[in-house]
Structure 1
């Protein structure tokens, strides 16, 4: 029997809300699908997550941000059975910050994992084609749990 391969990815994201609007980036999935997500992404080896979120927001949206607060951590594991019996267990650890805009201007990323950056009214978020991280990030932003962990039942991944 072939053993499952374990993959760990640590990433940092920002919840940027101004005037009841949230800044989102449109992620281009490997299958070509497009889904709104929080701006942010994977840490480079040796990089501090605080600096990761600053770099990633700038790359994906054109804005400079100051991570104003660490809202929490979202951790999820998913399994892909793979081919020939060698599956993958993917563990994503996402640090979610509140981002305060300090400069820059809205622009789209080129040659990256996102293709569009835009402001969306908070009231419109439920109708967007989005990844679950948007909902988790907004819940952390609204609830601000002292331990950074949401107690509400986790919805579908």
Structure 2
């Protein structure tokens, strides 16, 4: 089985009781809300990754103010051709403060919408588990920086 590791950085931006989200479009066309962020480029610092990704996906510029923690997920991908892949996603989560920019949708990327959602409405959204992990880290602030959630994305 082939092994694959993806390291990414994501932002938890809460302002006036609302959470900034981007709607992710999967390869099969499924759409689910997620935290803005994404994969690190080789040689890039995670702090710089989250700043770049939030701007790309939402139009906002951010300042990471707190490293909330790390979430790790793992799943097996079946491949049409070749061996299955044992995939692990290592997700670094920052609390970020909006410093500028204007909310807009990403064009030509992995997301198609950006929006602020009331925190009370999050449980009703079609979303990825990363949102729950990020909000748990934001609310609980565990010393270990570990979510210990079992979530599927």
Q: TM-score, normalised by structure 2?
A: 0.95
Distance in 2 of aligned mates of 1:34 and 1:83: 22
The aligned runs of 1:1-157 (5 Å cut-off) are: 4-83=1-80, 86-151=83-148, 153-156=149-152
Provide, for residues 63-113 of structure 1, a one-character-per-residue CA deviation record: whole Å limited to 9, x for no partner.
Answer: 000000000000111012434671100010000000101111100100000
Q: Distance in 2 between matches of 1:10 and 1:130?
A: 20
* Cα distance in structure 1, aligned partners of 2:79 and 2:27: 16
**Structure 1 CA distance for aligned equivalents of residues 54 and 74 of structure 2:** 24
Distance 1:91 1:150 in 2: 16
Tell me if the contact between 2:128 and 2:152 (Cα under 8 Å) persists in the aligned partners.
Answer: no
Gaps of 5+ in 1: none
How many residues are matched? 153
Determine helix, strand or coil for the equivalent of 1:47. Answer: coil
Report how far residue 29 of structure 1 moved. Answer: 0.5
| TM-score, normalised relative to structure 1 | 0.93
Q: Residues of 2 paired with 1:63 and 1:57: CA distance?
A: 6
Q: Which has the larger radius of gyration?
A: 1
